[in-house]
Structure 1
């Protein structure tokens, strides 16, 4: 039981930092028109959360199959995933994850289109290459029911956090402000950067021992 809770805590912190619910909720608001109602935001939150949950289980189930299919070692993926995470972390720290400016007409079209909740909000804004690589890496190191259950539970906690952040994004922006959300996102960027370095160093050290 102790192992389960330790893994649950580790996986939750890791994926929470990478997904950054507060940061993506700010991006969501920037993509939507000012006239968006609370009911529309609730609907978007539900669909986007369902999207990232489905994406998680697809990656969880097919991750090892893809590695075996292309004969990719988990440590090679750790290095590449670490590099992707490092670039993501740099963008988060620099504040360049925010969306580009859109016209009000484009924003109105986005809210009318149900696919907005799936693409781009669900994938790739919330469920991007960084979390994709992380899930495959964590799944590759998960052996037995306890570790896999901890990974699934941790991601569901992250997904719930995303849903709550999206659903209450208007209130979060009201109390934290744009500056507050950016500060949180930059702090998450530092954590993601540290995780990226660990992935890269860990993967490189094993590969060097294996091939040298």
Structure 2
């Protein structure tokens, strides 16, 4: 029961922060307008593989980062929460990602940077993974985190692969509404991180 509860929490959090539909809209704005189905499929594969590799690198080295800089879990919660709030405000107000001119020859090169990192896998995901890892009590919790992210990476792949059809179906307004709703969820998660971190830090100093 605990595993299912943790898994659902991890999955919902990753989905809200990653916002695959919003990211797909940004990705399309960076790619050429006449991009083919084959090209977008290749880009989706490369971008998804990029965020999966980045996830496992952060998951494995997260504890090392905390130890090297002598950062406590609760301090990271507060700072991570602040970063997530900034992300949430950006999502609610509209993406501030810079749009650059597209070139069909350079489309596939954009799969890793900037679509994979930092658009799909940004600072919000980075800090959230480290926080989840620091909260893990056993190996089962680590499995839950990895499985939750892997499923979200798969969702991201399918959404980006079919982003052309999703854009036609939802339209710009539909994508914007979903991103804003996800922004509210991310903001709520951020507040939980901050409050939890502040409470535990206060207790440690009293």
TM-score norm. by structure 1 comes to 0.94
The whole-number CA distance in structure 1 between the counterparts of 2:107 and 2:68 is 36
The whole-number CA distance in structure 2 between the counterparts of 1:115 and 1:43 is 11
The whole-number CA distance in structure 2 between the counterparts of 1:98 and 1:182 is 13
Equivalent residue, structure 2, for 1:186: 180
| CA-atom RMSD in angstroms | 1.1
SS of 2:102 mapped into structure 1: helix
The whole-number CA distance in structure 1 between the counterparts of 2:106 and 2:117 is 18
Deviation at 1:22, TM superposition (A): 0.4
Q: What does 1:189-200 correspond to in 2, within 5 Å?
A: 189-200=183-194
Q: Does 1:44 align with 2:43?
A: yes
Deviation at 1:98, TM superposition (A): 4.8
Q: What does 1:168-187 correspond to in 2, within 5 Å?
A: 168-187=162-181
Deviation at 1:5, TM superposition (A): 1.2
**Does the CA contact (< 8 Å) of 2:78 and 2:193 recur in 1?**
yes
Equivalent residue, structure 2, for 1:163: 157
The whole-number CA distance in structure 2 between the counterparts of 1:101 and 1:167 is 20
The whole-number CA distance in structure 2 between the counterparts of 1:54 and 1:195 is 24
Equivalent residue, structure 1, for 2:24: 25
Equivalent residue, structure 1, for 2:103: 108
- Greater shift, 35-44 or 114-123, is seen at 114-123
Equivalent residue, structure 2, for 1:88: 87
**Does the CA contact (< 8 Å) of 1:22 and 1:181 recur in 2?**
yes
Equivalent residue, structure 1, for 2:148: 154
Deviation at 1:29, TM superposition (A): 0.5
Deviations 1:48-75 (A, max 9, x none): 0000000000000000011011111000
Equivalent residue, structure 1, for 2:198: 204
**Does the CA contact (< 8 Å) of 1:93 and 1:189 recur in 2?**
yes
The whole-number CA distance in structure 2 between the counterparts of 1:107 and 1:122 is 16
Task: Name the CA shift for 1:145/1:93 in 2 (closer, same or farther; >3 Å).
Answer: same
Structure 1: gaps (5+ residues) = none
